[in-house]
Structure formats: C-alpha cells, structure tokens
Structure 1
Amino acid sequence: MARAALKWGVRDLANRASITAATVTRIEAGRPGYAATLEAIRIAFEAAGLEFIPENGGGVGVRFSKPKGSDLPDG
C-alpha cells in the first residue's frame, strides 16, 4: 500500500532502502524479513513523506504527512 501511494516500483523502494529488489518482493509475498531490513524500508517510506497509522478501530494504514524538514504549512 505504501509503495502504491508513492507510485514507486519494487526497484524504487529497493534503491531508497539500500536493499535488493528480490528482498522487497519476498517481504511483499509475506515472507519474513530481518528487523534491520524492515526498519530500512520504514525509514525510506517516512523520508518520502508517509506516516504509518496504527490499528485504531479502522485498520492499519498509511497516509501522507509533511515530509521531514519541510517548511510547508499543514493543511
């Protein structure tokens, strides 16, 4: 869902997270990944301006947030 929101392909995410495209594909297929790999993916998405939303009765998800270091006003 996060890749789709950013219109990133598997290779885009792999490059930004410094992992292989095969690793992205394996994780997206539901196979386990190392904690450091999952953290690298999370950091790449957050650096691109996504925020992960925890389960709050409506389900987990992602949304765009103000990119880190942005001077743009909220809204």
Structure 2
Amino acid sequence: MSEINQISGYQLAAARALIGIGQVELAEKASVSAPTLRRMESSEGEVKGMKNNVAAVVRALADLGVEFIEDGVRLKR
C-alpha cells in the first residue's frame, strides 16, 4: 500500500503497537510532535493531518520494519 492518504488512524496505532514503541519515541523518529501523532492515531478513517507529517510517520514506521497492507499492518518479511 503506497498511498498515505489511504492509511487510517488505527493502522498507525496498530503499527506502533506492533513494534512496541511509545508515541513520544515514534514522534521523535518522525520529527513530529507527540500531540500531532496522537491526533493522527485518533483519526476516524483516513489519517487527518498535513501530508508531510503523515508521510514522515509512515516512513519512520517503514524504517522500523512495518508494512502497511489493505486495512492493516504487518512486519516486513
């Protein structure tokens, strides 16, 4: 899944939980504020936020081994 505008807030939260890091740590890795990440994760449906911030969080999660798939997440093989 390559379209960041199709990623949901629950997918971000699930991805973070899958790799076992906290919001503050992920926010730092993505260079966004923790409140911004909290708002993203609490989005119903598509993640709300500036596209560059969403892309930074998705990139940070991908760098940590997460792959976004349709309606979910998994660890890269």
TM-score, normalised relative to structure 1: 0.75
Question: What is the match of residue 34 of structure 1?
Answer: 50
Residue in structure 2 matched with residue 65 of structure 1 by the alignment: 76
Structure 2: gaps of 5 or more residues:
1-13
Shift of 1:40: 0.3
> How high is the sequence identity, in percent, across the aligned residues?
36
Give deviations 1:9-32, integer Å, cap 9, x for gaps. Answer: 110110110000010111112172
Q: Distance in 2 between matches of 1:49 and 1:29?
A: 22
> 4+ residue runs of structure 1 moved beyond 3 angstroms?
none
Give 5+ residue unaligned stretches, structure 1: 55-59, 67-75
Superposition TM-score, scaled by structure 2 size: 0.73
Over alpha carbons, which structure has the higher Rg? Answer: 1
Aligned residues: 61
For 1:13 and 1:36, locate their aligned partners in 2 and report how far apart those are by CA, in whole Å. 15
Q: Which has the higher contact order (CA 8 A, sep 6+)?
A: 2
Deviations 1:2-51 (A, max 9, x none): 01001111101101100000101111121720000000011000000111
Give the alignment's Cα RMSD to 1 decimal. Answer: 1.2
